[in-house]
Structure formats: C-alpha cells, structure tokens
Amino acid sequence: MKKLLAKEIPLNILIAEDNLINQKLMLDVLAHQGYQCDSAASGFEVLNAVKKKEYDLILMDIQMPGMSGEETMQSVRELLAEKSPKIIAVTAYAMAEDREKYLQAGMDGYLSKPFKVDALVLEIRRVINGN
C-alpha cells in the first residue's frame, strides 16, 4: 500500500479554483493523499483565507473571476511577504513556454490540467523540498 503524502509531508493546503467540479476533484484527490484542504473560488476569497489561516501551499488556478491567479499570487506575496506559502500554478495552459512563464512570474511550481495524481504528488514534493 502506498504511503499517504500527508504523512510524509504534512501541509495546510488551500485550493484556489472557481470551477466547482475541478475544485471537488482536487479536494478528493488530496483527501486520498491524507489532506483536509480548504478551497476558495476567487482571488478575493484566497486573500480572505490567507488572512485567517496560515497555509503552506496554494494550488492556484490561473483563470479565475475578478482577479487572475497571477494577480492573486502577487497580492498574497505582498500581503504575507516572507511568510507567503508556496504557490503552484494549476492551469489548462499546457505549452512548454507556459510553465516557464508562470515560474518567471513568481509561481513556485506548475501543473497543467487535466493532471495525473502522480504529477500532482511529484510537483508538491518538488516545490516543498525546494528541488
């Protein structure tokens, strides 16, 4: 039996995703890894959430209403400075140059949709372990 990622790397995770189906999918996938995650459906909800609770990781959808994932990331970084969580861009933009674009913009990691569970686990490990 596979070891749960949450036992190996305990994290408080916020899922920033406006699409309820995608949000539920990510919550379920991470629950199977042993995590109880919070979710936010907009950049404004993300900002409210990070003011109330300390997160280690945000899985950030890029296309959200009101504030894009990039704008939300910048606001989180400004608000929390050195206490800012790691942020992984989760997006349907799946070209090789998209990954580089979001990393250059300040994201700590990148995951294209639709994603495989193994790819999510690997990217969380890479980002949290600093590889």
40 lies in some domain = yes
6 lies in some domain = no
Q: Over the stretch 58-99, which tens digit does the pLDDT of each residue have?
A: 999 999 988 999 999 999 999 999 899 999 999 887 777 888
4 lies in some domain = no
Q: Give percent of the chain with pLDDT exceeding 70.
A: 96
Q: What is the CATH number of the domain that holds 43?
A: 3.40.50.2300
Asked if 28 contacts 21 with a C-beta cutoff of 8 angstroms, the reply is no
5 lies in some domain = no
- Structural domains in the chain (count): 1
pLDDT at 3 over 80: no
**Who contacts 27 (Cβ-Cβ below 8 Å, separation ≥6)?**
15, 37, 39
Q: Structure pTM?
A: 0.94
Cβ density class 88-99: b for 16+ within 10 Å, e for less? bbbbeeeeeebb
Query: Binning pLDDT at 50, 70 and 90, where does residue 2 land?
Result: low
Domain range for 29 is 11-126
3 lies in some domain = no
